[in-house]
Structure 1
């Protein structure tokens, strides 16, 4: 399969293992916060704070998935030349 655009090292993504490890770390942190919200909702007793913590605990799985799956496209802002050059190096037939 031919690529229409060259891949540059400055725009290359991280390795698959590093990417998965980073996603797992973000997801585990989000789920730890969710667990703390559930425990906090039980611990604070009745009141408005309980419902804020319950709402946060219910919304965090969505947020955790969105944070764990970000778009990993890098852009360096430079355009590649089309391969044409104004000057050519001399070939073996044109060398002195």
Structure 2
């Protein structure tokens, strides 16, 4: 018996992540990507006169990361788990053809029919 004031809790397995958690995760990934971009641009500025090839790679990385970060952040929510199929398989025994009589099918005629 439940006490007054207690709420019943249902456990849902394979439920999707809540919208708030999904948005929080996207924001976290975007901030991490932009932090890496900032570090890449700073590395390009620091290494420009020291190691120009590495600086150019860091600069290209800093230029591509905003696009990648936005695409990742705007990606849709995870797919919902597939629901069980509602398809009902047809019966194994074949139905009578329209032109086939009861005698040909090997069954008795139902009572009350001529």
Same fold (TM over 0.5): yes
The structural deviation recorded for 1:82 is 4.3
The structural deviation recorded for 1:34 is 0.2
**Count of residue pairs the alignment pairs up:** 77
**TM-score, normalised relative to structure 1:** 0.65
State which structure, 1 or 2, has the greater radius of gyration over its C-alpha atoms: 2
Gaps of 5+ in 1: 1-7, 87-96
| Contact 2:40 2:58 (C-alpha < 8 Å) held by counterparts | yes
**TM-score, normalised relative to structure 2:** 0.56
CA RMSD between the two structures: 2.8
Gaps of 5+ in 2: 1-11, 92-114
The structural deviation recorded for 1:80 is 2.1
Q: Matched residue of 1:24: which SS?
A: helix
Tell me, yes or no, if structure 1 residue 63 matches structure 2 residue 68.
yes
